[in-house]
């Protein structure tokens, strides 16, 4: 029953699972934790799962490189949804533990910079050791290896622990962005608040090559939301770019940007158009609305017909 199965970056009890459970359709799916992002995505590629939820960007740590690289290479996949999950940690302990009893703490390496300041002021003498995941850290506390684990509060019940302190986050508005990835198919219908993702390989490393790429967006008034360079693996100085922009592939300005990129880039991988998790509608200048594009094509047709 692959169509009813969603994989995600496991183990159970991580923020990824919490993010997945915010999707209404998750309630009717079998949710299968996988050991890694590549494993979660390969299950989709192999047809063993309909989709996979994986983290792609963290507001503190930046891009999740494994996910970016997986989407840029191998058999093509497409993004259908994104989930933005505010990240705040709870300090999970065995029931009965007091704050003064906590001498050793653990958590995923990504969690550490997000709780560093809190630790320095509240538990300056506690020793940090990294765990394979936040959930794994919780399990190690359950087993008695550490006194406390930084994880999502929701992980407490899974591991029979208690949230001693909640809402721990050094950075205000810390959040992780996750994407729901499936095999390529027609993009879902535009909602008016959409995002379009591509991976771009520059045609040649000439001066202005990156500017050319940015101009394809700028000239059609399409706002670029994120651009991240990733090595292509072909040697130092060879990059591809992971780019998100506002709008949907069926918006004419976005379609023209993609066609322009296809012409000037060595390769373009379309990663999908999908609803923005923040539900913010693009601020579309009147010059680049679908109506403006239609007016311009009609005018050109009249010029070609001698009625310009």
Work out whether 41 is an interface residue with a second copy (CB under 8 A).
no
CB of 91 to a second copy, least distance (A): 45
For the chain, the C-alpha Rg in angstroms (whole number) is 23
Q: Residue 98 and residue 285: Cα distance in Å, rounded? A: 57
Q: What is the per-residue binding string for a second copy in 142-181, x denoting contact by CB under 8 A? A: ----------------------------------------
Q: How many CB atoms lie within 10 A of CB 107?
A: 29
Q: Which of 29, 94, 195, 269 binds a second copy (CB under 8 A)?
A: 269
Work out whether 299 is an interface residue with a second copy (CB under 8 A).
yes
Q: Which is nearer to a second copy, 267 or 278 (CB)?
A: 267
Burial of residue 248 (number of CB atoms within 10 Å: 0-12, 13-18, 19+): buried
Q: Which of 259, 279, 281, 290 binds a second copy (CB under 8 A)?
A: 259
Work out whether 187 is an interface residue with a second copy (CB under 8 A).
yes
Work out whether 307 is an interface residue with a second copy (CB under 8 A).
yes
Backbone angles phi, psi at 157, to 5 degrees: -60, -40
Three-class DSSP category at 122? helix
Q: Which is nearer to a second copy, 142 or 250 (CB)?
A: 250
CB of 241 to a second copy, least distance (A): 17
Q: Which is nearer to a second copy, 141 or 222 (CB)?
A: 222
Q: Residue 37 and residue 198: Cα distance in Å, rounded? A: 19
Work out whether 212 is an interface residue with a second copy (CB under 8 A).
yes
What residues contact 295, with CB distance under 8 A and at least 6 apart?
none
Q: Residue 237 and residue 19: Cα distance in Å, rounded? A: 35
Work out whether 263 is an interface residue with a second copy (CB under 8 A).
yes
Peptide bond connecting 11 to the previous residue in cis, omega within 30 degrees of 0: yes
Phi-psi category of residue 304: left, alpha or beta, with phi > 0 → left and psi -120 to 50 → alpha = alpha
Q: Which is nearer to a second copy, 34 or 79 (CB)?
A: 79
Q: Which of 62, 124, 237, 306 binds a second copy (CB under 8 A)?
A: 306
Find out whether 68 and 23 touch, Cβ atoms under 8 Å: no
Residues in 89-148 at the binding interface with a second copy, rule: CB under 8 A: none
Find out whether 272 and 186 touch, Cβ atoms under 8 Å: no
Q: Which of 47, 74, 86, 184 binds a second copy (CB under 8 A)?
A: 184
Backbone angles phi, psi at 251, to 5 degrees: -70, 135
Binding site for a second copy (CB under 8 A): 76, 78, 184-187, 203, 212, 215-216, 218-220, 249-250, 255-256, 258-260, 262-264, 268-270, 287-288, 292-293, 295-297, 299-300, 303-308
């Amino acid at each position: 029953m692959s169509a009813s199965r969603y994989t995600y970056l496991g183990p159970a009890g991580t923020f990824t699972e919490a993010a997945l459970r915010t999707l209404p359709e998750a309630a009717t799916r079998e949710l299968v934790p996988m050991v890694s992002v590549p494993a979660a995505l390969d299950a989709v590629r192999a047809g063993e799962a309909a989709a996979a939820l994986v983290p792609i960007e963290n507001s503190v740590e930046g891009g999740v490189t494994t996910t970016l690289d997986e989407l840029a290479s191998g058999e093509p996949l497409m993004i259908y949804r994104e989930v933005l999950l505010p990240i705040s940690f709870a300090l999970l302990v065995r029931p009965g533990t007091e704050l003064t009893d906590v001498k050793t703490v653990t958590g995923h390496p990504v969690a550490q910079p997000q709780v560093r300041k809190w630790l320095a002021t509240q538990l300056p003498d506690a020793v940090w050791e990294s765990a394979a995941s936040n959930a794994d850290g919780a399990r190690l506390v359950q087993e008695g290896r550490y006194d406390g684990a930084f994880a999502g509060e929701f992980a407490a019940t899974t591991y029979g622990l208690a949230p001693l302190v909640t809402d721990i986050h050094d950075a205000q508005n810390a959040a992780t962005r996750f994407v729901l990835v499936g095999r390529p198919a027609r993009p879902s219908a535009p909602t008016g608040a959409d995002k379009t993702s591509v991976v771009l390989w520059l045609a040649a490393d000439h001066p202005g090559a990156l500017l050319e790429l940015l101009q394809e967006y700028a000239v059609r008034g399409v706002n670029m939301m994120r651009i991240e360079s990733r090595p292509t693996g072909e040697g130092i100085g060879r990059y591809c770019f992971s780019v998100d922009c506002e709008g949907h592939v069926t918006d004419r300005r976005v379609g023209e940007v993609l066609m322009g990129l296809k012409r000037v880039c060595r390769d373009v991988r379309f990663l999908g158009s999908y609803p923005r998790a923040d539900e913010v509608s693009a601020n579309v200048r009147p010059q680049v609305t679908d109506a403006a594009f239609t007016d311009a094509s009609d005018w050109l047709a009249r010029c070609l017909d001698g009625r310009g």
